[in-house]
Amino acid sequence: AQTVTQSQPEMSVQEAETVTLSCTYDTSESDYYLFWYKQPPSRQMILVIRQEAYKQQNATENRFSVNFQKAAKSFSLKISDSQLGDAAMYFCAYRSYNQGGKLIFGQGTELSVKP
Amino acid sequence: NAGVTQTPKFQVLKTGQSMTLQCAQDMNHEYMSWYRQDPGMGLRLIHYSVGAGITDQGEVPNGYNVSRSTTEDFPLRLLSAAPSQTSVYFCASSSLESWSVDTQYFGPGTRLTVL
């Protein structure tokens, strides 16, 4: 069975600085997808970024980028130029290639942004 | 286009009571899922469906039933509520299209308390 681990329950960053959230996963599959979701206090789940395992190039979405290390089974999220609105719970998630609708989530990392 | 809707937003039950959490989507998505979110544990999959008439168990199915009679609706039934089912419940949907990298759309969540 696949597992996702986020070992940082809480992180803090100064506004305008850069922060990296860690995620590791375990799987025996070669084809899969990885995601980072943001959950602000409103509880809404917002997709931040996604990565296809077969792509070597790291995904980037504006200030958000990932460092995908397939051999190490590592998928970290880097937030550049942090903003107050980035404060939220961040979840790393895994999905098998042919298992749509089945996401496996990590425990989450609570990110606070200091002005 | 309302996306994924869930009702109710909040619910308090007594141990042993039954109830149904409603979930509906208007995006004609094939996949629908139910997750529960507990502190420190991320989101865990309860049940999911790949289409009308087809459901399957997720990671934590005990105490819950689902059915999928239409593409739009995917209700979650608690047969006999227990305090361990106190949680926040999220419904999600996504497309079956092979080119779609599973952008799961989440509902706003239902906060359930079982006394």
Q: Give the pLDDT confidence of B1-44 residue by residue, as tens digits.
A: 678 999 999 999 999 999 999 999 999 998 999 999 998 888 99
Q: Using a CB-CB distance cutoff of 8 angstroms, which residues of chain A are in contact with residue B31?
A: 100-101
What tens digit of pLDDT does each residue of B45-61 get?
Answer: 999 998 999 999 999 99
Chain B neighbors of A9, CB-CB under 8 A? 40
Q: By CA distance, what is A8's nearest residue in B?
A: B40
Please give the pLDDT value at position B99. 47
DSSP at B20:
E
- In angstroms, the CA B23 to CA B76 distance is 8
Residue B88 pLDDT level (bands cut at 50, 70, 90): very high
Range B89-105 average pLDDT: 75
3-state helix/strand/coil string of B47-114: EEEEECCEEEECCCCCCEEECCCCCCECCEEECCCCHHHCEEEEEEEECCCCCCCCCCEECCCEEEEE
pLDDT at A1: 84
The reported pLDDT for the residue numbered A78 is 98
pLDDT (tens place) for every residue of chain A, 115 residues total: 889 999 999 999 999 999 999 999 999 998 899 999 999 988 888 889 999 999 889 999 999 999 999 999 999 999 999 999 999 999 999 988 877 678 899 999 999 999 9
A105:B48 CB<8 A:
no
